[in-house]
Amino acid sequence: MGGLRSTEWYDGQDRNSYIHRAWMRRGTPDDSLDGTKPQIAIANTASDLTPCNMHLDEVAESVKQGIWEAGGVPYNLPVVSLGETVVKPTAMLWRNMAAMAMEEMFRANPVDGLVLLGGCDKTIPALLMAAASVNIPAIVVPGGPMLTGHFRGEALGCGTDVWRLSEEVRGGRITNGEFLKSEASMIRSKGHCNTMGTASTMAVVAEALGMTIPGFAGTPAPDSRLLSMSHETGRLIIELVKANRRPSDIMTKESFLNAIIAVAATGGSTNSVVHMLAIAGRLGIDLTLEDFDDAGRDVPLMVNLQPSGEFLMDDLYRAGGVLAALSQVKELFHAEPITVTGKPLVDYLTGQPVYDETVIFPREVPLMADAGIAVLRGNLAPRGAIIKPAAATAELLQHVGPAVVFDSIEDMRARLDDPDLDVTADSVLVLRGCGPRGYPGMPEVGNMPLPRKLLEQGVRDMVRISDARMSGTAYGTVILHVAPEAAAGGPLAFVRTGDIIRLDVEGRSLSFDVTDEELQERSQSAASEAAYAAPTRGWEKLYVDHVMQADTGADLDFLVGSSGDRVSRESH
Ligand code: FES
């Protein structure tokens, strides 16, 4: 086979090709490196410190079998992995580092194709960013959600029920001891969070972008069909290499619009916004916040899954799966974008039966008529902020109330439960210093807890605003990703407690009552700047010096665009 990238290493009769071949034989058949067999890297985010991805070594074995069977040569390539619940200060700080390291390793090695094994929140985004940047044929294997755990006979939703139960403790409705007893039941099996959180959402995004075998996303991690689809992916990557079908052929502007529709129809995570913007940026695609608002507008919510609804990912699979859910809104999808199979996504959206209409709703009676992520603008968020109406309280989507401002997450924790805090159910909680630069890393703290005294009064939701993100498993009337963030000099830095804040989701506006002159005056007052200590070394310094704002995906400015798959100079 001519034209394989790996022949740049292995072709020839000279000393360097000798070195490349000799060290890579390691027991493979003699013809493995003869220039006719695609060399496939299995980018593997398995790690014992990424609990959601711990099973991916087993998955990699199935992929390997498929690659051998189809005439390729597989290589396990362990790459940077990020465990959402354990990595500090936030896995998002490391997403770009992981993507950059993956990209460089893909390019530096003799590979013709990539199989991307991801699962936990940041792993699929980082893998797709890297694959987009090298533009080598690639397919995603989503590691799959875990099975549903139960506590005292009731299903537990990963993340979502942690937030719910901890608020029950703070509100005095259950004891802390009862809360802690649920801990052992939360994670029932291998796999990632079983709600429509960020991991599930990014699997749906990968599938809607066309980057998985259609029908793969949402397959539970312990299900044997995950391994058979992984085997099939191993076979398919060889076809992709032969057809020279690259990520840029699959991930087009229209496929991103399809993914936005898919996220809305499945009640997906707000985190998908920064991840899709970053992936698109690597491909040079002009995807904007407006595209999310426009493409997601009037898309109905078709699935009854936590955090927007009731059920869990295992139920979705039982009810027909992701394709059955998307097929309910088939007419909304762009017809042209292809998948890794070479066929359009829409070809897979017919003949998908629904087995449980309490999980996947019929088109005529969706769970919600308009589930798209709304983009808000105004003098509080000149470059935009987002809200997920599907996870919010309908009555709060239009709201006017006085701000209660916290300068940092520590400030919020110190004062939130103070009985003397001047706060009512009408107040708007404002948290700043939690954006990409300010934290740094843009943590998932935007769904800040409610003040204890209001919880005890029975308050269940309030308007909250921040430059942070929110866990995909969380819910509430939470406005996120305010851009520019406070640490970048955005107006959020100059809001004061007592300022009147106006939210109008229908009108897509977010503002506070301050004149331009007053805002100018405040911006010149050093006292009103949010607390912000710039890091002085290492990745954090590189990140803070170069990270872009949330409205463009919070990637590093010098990583935008593709560097392609060029083969570098020889090392010997
Ligand atoms: Fe890994 Fe939720 S913690 S997916």
- Enter the pTM of the model: 0.96
Question: Is 311 strand, coil or helix?
Answer: strand
| Position 232, amino acid | E
Sign of CA dihedral 502, 265, 154, 143: negative
Give residue-wise pLDDT tens across range 283-305. 999 999 999 999 999 999 999 99
- Which ligand 1 atom sits closest to the C-alpha of 121? 4
Per-residue pLDDT band at 533 (split at 50, 70, 90): confident
- Which ligand 1 atom sits closest to the C-alpha of 472? 2
| Position 531, amino acid | A
Question: Is 18 strand, coil or helix?
Answer: helix
Q: What is the pLDDT of residue 402?
A: 98
Q: To 10 degrees, what angle do helices 91-108 and 123-134 make?
A: 40
Q: How far is the CA of 533 from the centre of ligand 1 (A)?
A: 29
Task: Identify the residue whose C-alpha is closest to ligand 1 atom 3.
Answer: 84
Range from 49-58, 348-357, 499-508, 563-572 carrying the lowest mean pLDDT: 563-572
Q: Is the peptide bond before 440 cis (omega within 30 degrees of 0)?
A: yes
Kindly state the average pLDDT of the residues 94-115.
98
Q: How far apart are CA 253 and CA 251, in angstroms?
A: 7
Mutate to test the pocket of ligand 1, among 82, 160, 192 (most ligand atoms within 8 A of CB): 192
Kindly tell me if the per-residue pLDDT of 521 is higher than 50: yes
The domain defined by 375-533 folds into Glucose Oxidase; domain 1 (3.50.30)
- Which ligand 1 atom sits closest to the C-alpha of 52? 1
Kindly tell me if the per-residue pLDDT of 528 is higher than 60: no
Ranges of each domain in the chain: 38-148+188-348, 150-186, 375-533
> What's the Rg (C-alpha) of the chain?
24
Q: How far apart are CA 288 and CA 235, in angstroms?
A: 35
Q: What is the pLDDT of residue 159?
A: 86
Q: How far is the CA of 544 from the centre of ligand 1 (A)?
A: 25
Instruction: List, in sequence order, every residue forming a beta bridge with 442; answer none if it has no partner.
Output: none
Q: How far is the CA of 50 from the centre of ligand 1 (A)?
A: 8
Task: Identify the residue whose C-alpha is closest to ligand 1 atom 2.
Answer: 193
* Fold match, 38-148+188-348 / 375-533: no
Instruction: List, in sequence order, every residue forming a beta bridge with 376; answer none if it has no partner.
Output: 385
- Which ligand 1 atom sits closest to the C-alpha of 84? 3
439 and 433 in contact (C-beta within 8 Å)?
yes
Q: How far is the CA of 49 from the centre of ligand 1 (A)?
A: 12
Q: How many residues does the chain have?
A: 572
Please state the φ and ψ torsions of residue 126, each to the nearest 5 degrees: -65, -40
DSSP conformation class of 159: T
Range from 85-94, 369-378, 561-570 carrying the lowest mean pLDDT: 561-570
What tokens appear for 312 in the block?
């869990």
- Which residue matches tokens 């992520």? 373
402 and 501 in contact (C-beta within 8 Å)?
yes
* Ligand 1 binding pocket, CB closer than 6 Å: 52, 84-85, 120-121, 158-159, 192-193, 197, 199
Per-residue pLDDT band at 532 (split at 50, 70, 90): low
Count of other CB atoms within 10 angstroms of residue 418? 12
Give residue-wise pLDDT tens across range 307-322. 889 999 999 999 999 9
Q: What is the pLDDT of residue 474?
A: 84
Query: What would the DSSP string read from start to end of 448-511?
Result: PPPPHHHHHTT----EEEESS---TT--SSEEE--SS-GGGT-GGGG--TT-EEEEETTTTEEE
Kindly tell me if the per-residue pLDDT of 384 is higher than 60: yes
Class of domain 38-148+188-348: alpha beta
Q: How far is the CA of 556 from the centre of ligand 1 (A)?
A: 24
Kindly tell me if the per-residue pLDDT of 530 is higher than 70: no
